[in-house]
Amino acid sequence: MADLSEIERMMADWERDASARAARYDRVKQQAERILITESVASGAVSVTVGHNGLPTDVRMTEAVKAMSPDEIAANVLRAIRKAYAKYPERLGEIALAAVGDDTTTGAATKAKGAPAAPREDGEATDLFRPLFEG
């Protein structure tokens, strides 16, 4: 059986490790909140940048949208949003892996359930945020 000084040393090591791990996860959280992902659709005619919450932070269009109907433009904006946000789990995984390493918590935090799958190429509409709220 370990003596009291050994137990105290083990507890101090555990506290130090827990503090270091918490600091690494805090860095991941801070970096995750700064994620911006830009994707284009319609041969680059529509580009959208989304933040970590899936909301657009920038929308850009080229002259090519003049040949599109308003409905096509709107559909392409939504496709670009979905396409960009679908990359969030991958980007989050890269950040977590770099900061924390490959452990079970990192893997669980970056499961694809955190963002929707990339939109289908046929442009079929999907609910952008449904995967965020499903249990």
Residue with the larger pLDDT of the pair 102 and 3: 3
Q: Is the pLDDT of residue 124 over 50?
A: no
Residue 42 zone, left/alpha/beta (φ > 0; ψ -120 to 50; rest)? left
The enclosing domain of 77 has a CATH number of 3.30.1310.10
Confidence class for position 24, pLDDT limits 50, 70, 90: confident
pLDDT tens-digit map of 35-75: 999 999 999 999 999 998 889 999 999 999 999 999 999 99
Q: CA nearest 89: which of 56, 50, 115, 54?
A: 115
Percent of the chain at pLDDT > 90 equals 37
Q: How large is the average pLDDT for residues 97-102? A: 79
Q: Is the pLDDT of residue 101 over 80?
A: no
Report the distance separating Cα 33 and Cα 28, nearest Å. Answer: 9
pLDDT of residue 130: 46
**Which domain, by its residues, includes 84?**
4-133
Confidence class for position 129, pLDDT limits 50, 70, 90: very low
- Going by their DSSP bridges, the two strands 36-41 and 46-51 should be labelled as antiparallel
Domain count, the chain: 1
CA angle 46, 49, 53 (to 5 degrees): 135
